[in-house]
Amino acid sequence: MEAKEMKMDIAGREFKITNSPIVSAANGYAIVSLGDTVIMANASMSKKGREGAQFFPMFVDYEENFYAAGKISGSRFVKRGGRPSERAILNSRLIDRPVRPLFPKGTTNEVQIICSVLSADLEVDPAITAINAASVALMVSGAPFEGPIAAVKIGYLNDELILNPTYKQEEEGKLSLIVVGTLDAITMVEAAAKEVTEEVLLKAMELAHTHIKQICEFQIKYAEQFSPEPIVAEIVEKNADAVAAIEAFVTEEMLNTIGGKTKKDVKKTIAAIEEELFAKYATEIEEEKFSKGELGELMNSMMEKNMRKKILEKEERIDGRKIDEVRPINVQADILPRTHGSAIFQRGETMALTITTLGGPGDAQIVDTMESDITKRYYHHYSFPPYSVGDIKPLRGASRREIGHGDLAERALIPVLPDEADFPYTMWVYSNVVSCNGSSSMASVCGSTLSLMATGVPIKRPISGIAMGLVMDKETGNYKILSDIQGMEDFAGDMDFKVTGSTEGITALQMDIKVKGLSLDLMREALERAKQGRQFILDKMLEVIPEPRKELSSTAPLIMSMKVDPDSVRTVIGKGGETINKIIAECEVEIDIKDEGVITITAPAQENGRKAVEWIEKLTYVPKAGDVFDGKVVRLMDFGAFVEIVPGKDGLVHISKMANERVNKVEDVVKLGDIVKVKLMEIDDKGRLNLSMKDAPGHQDKGGAPAGESKPTTHPPAKTDNEEKNGERVEGTTAVRKV
């Protein structure tokens, strides 16, 4: 094939599309690069439809390749790629969501899109280039794809919007917004934000769409150079006999009876009509002119159309709510006795049980990614078991949907988490959706806030979330925005717009639409309505837990932190980790040490933590003249005795310093193992410790304890914030959990 290549500039980086020098056998492929980031996208579509397909069988995979970043996987045991990482799964979803609605409804042909990262510049997110590459590959494949689509990312730093920000700009800024759209409108939005306003988001979307249109036009010009063989989408034809039968039987009056406050109520009204329907056509069903399943599908389609009509014409929803009304809310805290924190958030029939577990810094999750290794001190897991919707299904680990919803809920809370310096705990939040009728991801956001506050995590502000919907008449443009959509409104509606935030602004955003695009004016209206809904929900949450608990749960671990001289770190660790492992085992604690000398101890109780702190204080103690110790005699010499004052440090008590009177023989005063009170008199120029027994407070001649007798060992008191050693401030211990 003749080599084709086109270039343009995006935010100072070269954006290039080519089909060379790498050649693929897929229906359509493209090598798309942005700077030094290179993505190979392959798009294939089967000529025939899949028999019995109940949904559009499209499969999208984003492949992270460690070689693209010049990196070898950090795992010592598994070097070959296996199950995609969570980041790869999330990027696969980013590609899938805007592409899927642009194929003919009812398509049964299999479509596969694979986007492989061949080179990563480690400066900008390769996922954006992958979305653009997938669109180009589809454009030249001959598939019935109503594209192109294009994607850009927008950052917000120092009150300025930035096109395709670098990772550093995203980290330092307040916004990471991914926008996907067509020439005409925006079709998908994904955002993480640090409490930005609705107005900033709208300006960011407007800027994004300006560049999206340019990239779409660029793709069209590139695709015009190719003449692929068109692939015809196979659409399952509806059974004409079944269509005639249901149209003859089901009336608008019947459809208007469908409704109810709960999913069960709605199903009862549907079942009543279906019972009459199946009875009327029992003969035709027996003769296999059509099946109950075919009639049921057509019935469901009629019901959805009628539901949309009632919303558009009368603002009547299937559960009787007004279009801006939120379902009844139920909030409960402290549900489970032994967890660190737990809460239930229920909105309508959707209930999320959310549990918070605290751990030490060592429990932070290390994520080995293509670009870098990331350490997460907060992570949220979302679970959607089959019983939540009355299904029976085998459990096979987290699904892509569960990973996506968990990531959204995680992003929602990150901006309001306490700083690590103030709260060194690792936080794991687990949301179990025990019952669902729509908006479960937003229920898990609200549940996470409640659970964290119930645990005593000092979050800066509470977060709530709401899912907004849309019903639009494509011919007239008439539309209605729905607050807090439930399951049927999600399936039959035209938009799923999730918004989370605090009273200060938005923290996360996710929008998917089934129409070809939305105007900024419509999104402005949806954001304003979402703000009102979020505040209503937040008020209900704060009625139960108005602020984070002042004290951590009694079942949570205790964290103590201390600062030692960095040169003493090796002493605490010991040869091959022997010392630190002994402290961990005997005190039953976890210990994390940073190179700068910050030591964090995570203990199940105060007693364990104090024991470990005292042990480390002894190991790292820097002696000074005047300190008094209960030391242990460890060696006898003719000229005196060596006494260990703290583990690993001993000094000499000269025979002349053992008693007020003359001592002829050391053994007359002390024996090996004796515990004796000594005072540190001086440290000589060679660092040797000179001790005295006779100058120690309360000394009595021949006052050493009998050999073998055990006395409590004292040690210097914990240093206060005002004390200094070697010119460096040394912090005292800090108990984070109040006890």
303 Cβ neighbours under 8 A, 6+ residues apart: 255, 258, 270
My answer on whether omega of the bond before 148 falls inside 30° of 0, hence cis, is yes
Place of tokens 């110790």: 629
**Residues 522, 404 within the same domain:** yes
Q: How many residues does the chain have?
A: 739
What are the Cα distances from residue 579, in Å, to 362, 440, 590? Answer: 18, 48, 13
C-beta atoms surrounding 710 within 10 Å:
9
CB 508 within 8 A of CB 195: no
Domain boundary among 261, 290, 314: 314
Q: H/E element holding 724?
A: strand 724-725
Strands 109-119 and 58-63: parallel
Burial (Cβ within 10 Å: 0-12, 13-18, ≥19) of residue 576: exposed
Distance CA 466, CA 651 (A): 68
Sign of the CA dihedral with 352 first, then 353, 354, and 359 last:
negative
Distance CA 354, CA 427 (A): 13
700 Cβ neighbours under 8 A, 6+ residues apart: none
Asked whether residue 487 is assigned to any structural domain, the reply reads: yes
The CATH number of residue 654's host domain is 2.40.50.140
Cα three-residue angle 219-225-229, rounded to 5 degrees: 100
Task: Return contacts of 496-499, CB within 8 angstroms, 24+ apart.
Answer: 496/467, 496/469, 497/467, 497/468, 497/469, 497/470, 497/523, 497/526, 497/530, 498/408, 498/439, 498/441, 498/442, 498/465, 498/466, 498/467, 498/468, 499/465, 499/466, 499/468, 499/527, 499/530, 499/531, 499/534
Which of 540, 527, 473 shows the shortest CA–CA distance to 500?
A: 527
Distance CA 159, CA 505 (A): 15
**Residues 378, 430 within the same domain:** yes
Q: H/E element holding 185?
A: none
Asked whether residue 721 is assigned to any structural domain, the reply reads: no
Place of tokens 């009177």: 661
Asked whether residue 320 is assigned to any structural domain, the reply reads: no
Asked whether residue 732 is assigned to any structural domain, the reply reads: no
**Residues 335, 283 within the same domain:** no
Distance CA 336, CA 350 (A): 19
The CATH number of residue 537's host domain is 3.30.230.70
Edge-first strand order for the sheet with 495-501 is 160-163, 150-157, 175-181, 186-196, 506-513, 495-501, 464-472, 479-483
CB 302 within 8 A of CB 248: no
Asked whether residue 704 is assigned to any structural domain, the reply reads: yes
**Residues 367, 335 within the same domain:** yes
HSE-up (13 A, CA, CB side) for residue 32 = 29
Place of tokens 């004390």: 723
CB 172 within 8 A of CB 130: no
DSSP 3-state of 427: strand
Distance CA 570, CA 193 (A): 41
**Residues 400, 467 within the same domain:** yes
Backbone angles phi, psi at 269, to 5 degrees: -70, -35
**Residues 310, 384 within the same domain:** no
661 Cβ neighbours under 8 A, 6+ residues apart: 701
Residue type, 110: E
Distance CA 199, CA 316 (A): 30
**Residues 507, 589 within the same domain:** no
C-beta atoms surrounding 409 within 10 Å:
31
Token digits for 15?
Answer: 């954006």
CB 193 within 8 A of CB 170: no
CB 466 within 8 A of CB 439: yes
Token digits for 454?
Answer: 């119930």
C-beta atoms surrounding 40 within 10 Å:
23
**Residues 83, 126 within the same domain:** yes
Query: What was the pLDDT predicted at 1?
Result: 66
Asked whether residue 110 is assigned to any structural domain, the reply reads: yes
The CATH number of residue 597's host domain is 3.30.1370.10
| Structural domain span for residue 120 | 5-223
**Residues 455, 481 within the same domain:** yes
Distance CA 591, CA 733 (A): 14
The CATH number of residue 279's host domain is 1.10.10
Sign of the CA dihedral with 314 first, then 315, 321, and 322 last:
negative
Domain boundary among 574, 606, 621: 621
Burial (Cβ within 10 Å: 0-12, 13-18, ≥19) of residue 602: buried
Domain count, the chain: 5
Pinpoint the alpha helices (H) of 32-125. Answer: 86-99
500 Cβ neighbours under 8 A, 6+ residues apart: 408, 409, 411, 412, 442, 445, 463, 464, 465, 506, 507, 508, 509, 534
Query: What was the pLDDT predicted at 706?
Result: 38
Asked whether residue 430 is assigned to any structural domain, the reply reads: yes
**Low-confidence residues in the chain, pLDDT < 70:** 1, 700-739
**Residues 142, 18 within the same domain:** yes
Which of 376, 443, 406, 413 shows the shortest CA–CA distance to 506?
A: 413
Distance CA 617, CA 599 (A): 11
What are the Cα distances from residue 239, in Å, to 236, 278, 281, 290, 296? Answer: 9, 16, 14, 7, 12
Asked whether residue 109 is assigned to any structural domain, the reply reads: yes
**Residues 247, 281 within the same domain:** yes
CB 631 within 8 A of CB 675: yes
Distance CA 259, CA 268 (A): 9
**Residues 192, 270 within the same domain:** no
